[in-house]
Amino acid sequence: MMNFDKAIELYKAEPTKEKLHEVADLLLGKMTVKEKIRMLQGHAMGVTIKNFLTKGRFYNGEAYPAGGCKRLGIPPVMFTDGPRGIVMKKCTCFPVSMLRGAAFDDELEYRIGEVFAKEASALDANLFAGVCINLLRNPMWGRAQETYGEDPYLLGRMGAALTKAMQDNGIIACPKHYALNSIEDLRFSANAIADERTLHEVYLPHFKKCIDAGAMSVMGAYNKVNGTYACENKKLLTDILRDKWEFDGFTLSDFFYGIYDAVRSLKAGMDMEMPYIFRYATLGYSLKKGDITEKDIDTAAARILRALISTLPKHKKYPESVILSKEHVALARETATKGIVLLKNKDKVLPIPADKKIAVVGRYANKRNTGDHGSSNVFSPYAITPYEGMCNRFGTENVSLYNGCNISDAVKASADCDYILVCVGSDWLQEGEFLVNLGNVKKKPKGSGGDRADLHIPEEDMQLIKGLSDLGKKLVVNIMGGSAYIIKDWIDCADAVLMSFYSGLEGGNALADILSGDISPAGKLPFTVAEKAEDYPSFLHLGAKNKDIEYGYYHGYTLFDKENKAPHFPFGFGLSYTDFEFGDVSLEKDDKKITVSLKLENKGNFDGDEILQLYIGSDNADADRPVKLLKGFRRVAVRKGESAVAEVSADIEDIRFYNPATSEWELDSAYTVYIGTDSKNVIEAGKINF
């Protein structure tokens, strides 16, 4: 008898795309129309009610089921969210994706994905919707913390690594939110307008990389794209995703309000409504009316079956004991150390010598601050604060605490100390998923999540920094938050400045690892820090009457390059405790890639990592081209006093430009290749011709 187990058996015997389609169609042929429609619907209402009544948790306390057919043994899709860990029960809270973007390490991201897959499996999930790769175009975006940065190539490399890790371990990877989703407060009504070239070159290539890495599901966004809701946008869901990219999996809607019209969405290519039966409850009626056909239903159901049949054979069930294991916690700490960015270190005031006394002050000195409290919240049983981390490393007797913003109290706590560590930035009240606005819209920090009201840190924090700078002590500022801040108005008051983002359950220990010099910082900014807010592209805030917004071709470092404007800190910037020096540089090209080789020498007193960044610019003066674009990176470890020959490559396919006239990707005749340590600090490695 043909059932799910038989389909798996047939596919495993011949794991080809053709065979996958064949066995999925055979299984589909055994299903009734009612069963096929059920495959397209989320069934999480019972789980939600149970979780709310028994655990006090509204969202994703257990895996959310969708689809499935008991009669034929077809398992349901079992959904868990992310991206800083598994949101179900109490799992390992990793640093947010933005910090992991700052690590510029896709091999590390793959290892993180393996942990996510194990913890998801232990809690019976088989789909991970934590591959968030929306592009950061303006730091006002409240959910910036959930993505990897402002650059499409960086997003693609990191997202592909996480995607591959999940799929390799039998968990369906779900990149999101497709597409042009980078405004939170108006996420249900914003209309992102982008021309063809901007769409394909800037806002979609990272999704394509995840599809190429094997993703078998994609989540649609809430917003409109060029006038049509993303979850009923045929151009996005069918013309590009299926016809151009040959995506073979299924699409699912963003939750609750992703679908407005079942017929339009299904015909556009939206396969599954999540998490409850709502709009898709009418599919049977629409079929009887003739608004949709059984073929429309079959097409969507077959895609879901293909994802299950191709992915689940690699699935391994893990015991719950793997959750929060020593190995997982250690990786979370390692990740945090690799992504923390050192922005300033005047007179090498850092690292802090072991015999010094330290005051830890500020609103986040001893407060759990792991990020957004929305759908990405991970309920780890603990989170090490900066104060706790410094105590663990330097000893309680050498560390004092004041958890607040009152200057006189902070001065008292700092009286006998050599160093003051001020912890400032944001938390879930100032930025994150827009849950509910508890205060005045104009005073958004009193709300709950949503887009930032201001790109500066709060006024009390700035006054605290300025007040403490008069004490004559070593002043170190630790910025916690999701993306860039305007810091030009106070940075001169600080001796050292770090950005630790939201660094997970081991964040305080990781911060102490960096401040003590046990580990030399090597994180690099995954975004551009401007001197003033007006230097970023336009943004839509709550209350805007016109919901249309132009998503232009230039943003981030490409915009600063285009306008020949100096940022405060460039994309890719980050300091180290050690000193690296470039040696001989050479350039080679073959049919598939461009490779830059160079000697990297560590001439300082610390072992350390350097992140080499490969940028490529077109020499086609007749076309509007960015000055340069990131097309390769590599994290290289070099011990003090030693050197290494490092190679950084760029794929030829990644340097093509989209021609709207032909709908094809084309090479220019000549390019200049740059190698460096940030988008401004580069040297020319050579030129290539085609």
HSE at residue 658, side-chain half, CA atoms within 13 A, is 14
Residue 661: count other Cβ atoms within 10 Å of its Cβ: 7
Residue in the structure block whose two tokens are 């709060």: 458
What is the identity of the amino acid at 613? Answer: Q
Q: What are phi and psi of 88, to 5 degrees?
A: -75, 150
As given in the structure block, the two tokens for residue 235 are: 């151009």
Alpha-carbon distance of 643 to 583, in angstroms, equals: 9
With helix as H, strand as E and coil as C, how does 542-555 read?
CCCCCCEEECCCCC
CB 137 within 8 A of CB 559: no
Q: Is 574 exposed, middle or buried (0-12, 13-18, 19+ CB in 10 A)?
A: buried
| Angle between the N-to-C axes of helices 205-212 and 152-168, in degrees from 0 to 180, rounded to the nearest 10 | 20
What is the identity of the amino acid at 399? Answer: V
Q: Is 46 exposed, middle or buried (0-12, 13-18, 19+ CB in 10 A)?
A: exposed
Q: For residue 370, give the nearest of 510, 464, 225 by alpha carbon.
A: 510
3-class SS of residue 607: coil
CB 562 within 8 A of CB 552: no
As given in the structure block, the two tokens for residue 363 are: 């609103």
Per the annotation, the verdict on 254 as an active-site residue is yes
Q: Bridge-partner residues for 615, per DSSP?
A: 630, 674
3-class SS of residue 468: helix
Alpha-carbon distance of 251 to 216, in angstroms, equals: 9
Residue 123: count other Cβ atoms within 10 Å of its Cβ: 19
Alpha-carbon distance of 268 to 287, in angstroms, equals: 16
3-class SS of residue 511: helix
CB 132 within 8 A of CB 147: yes
As given in the structure block, the two tokens for residue 134 are: 């929306």
Strands 191-193 and 172-176, how do they pair?
A: unpaired
Residue 390: count other Cβ atoms within 10 Å of its Cβ: 30
Q: What is the DSSP letter of 123?
A: T
Letter string b/e over residues 316-338, b meaning 16 or more CB atoms within 10 A of that residue's CB: eebeeebbbeeebbebbbbbbbb
Query: How far, in Å, are 201, 317, 548, 554 from residue 625 at the CA level?
Result: 11, 49, 25, 10
Catalytic residue chosen out of the listed positions 254, 561, 654, 678:
254
Beta strands in 373-487 (DSSP E): 399-402, 419-425, 432-436, 448-450, 474-480
Alpha-carbon distance of 283 to 305, in angstroms, equals: 19
Query: How far, in Å, are 89, 91, 129 from residue 119 at the CA level?
Result: 10, 7, 14
CB 587 within 8 A of CB 540: no
Catalytic residues: 254
